[in-house]
């Protein structure tokens, strides 16, 4: 199993953004940290389903 680190940060406007650390294609947001996390999880699922597995690069 490969792990993807997702960074969640609070923006100045109070929303939360989430992005995949060293993974292209994961940029999400939500009104809460939980919403941003769920959106990132969905992005990961879609990347795995529709893209080349090499997108999850080894660093």
CA distance 14 to 26: 20
Q: Where are the domains of the chain?
A: 6-53
Backbone angles phi, psi at 6, to 5 degrees: -115, 125
CA distance 40 to 38: 5
pLDDT at residue 59 above 80?
no
Q: Look at residue 49 and give its three-state secondary structure.
A: helix
Q: Could you report the per-residue pLDDT of 5-29, keeping only the tens digit for each?
A: 999 999 999 999 999 998 888 999 9
Q: Could you report the per-residue pLDDT of 34-50, keeping only the tens digit for each?
A: 999 999 999 988 888 88
pLDDT at residue 58 above 70?
no
């Amino acid at each position: 199993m490969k792990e993807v680190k997702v960074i969640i940060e609070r923006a100045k406007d109070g929303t939360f953004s989430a992005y995949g650390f060293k993974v292209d294609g994961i940029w999400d947001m939500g009104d809460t940290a939980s919403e941003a996390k769920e959106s990132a999880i969905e992005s990961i699922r879609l990347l795995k389903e529709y893209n080349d597995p090499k997108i999850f690069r080894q660093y």
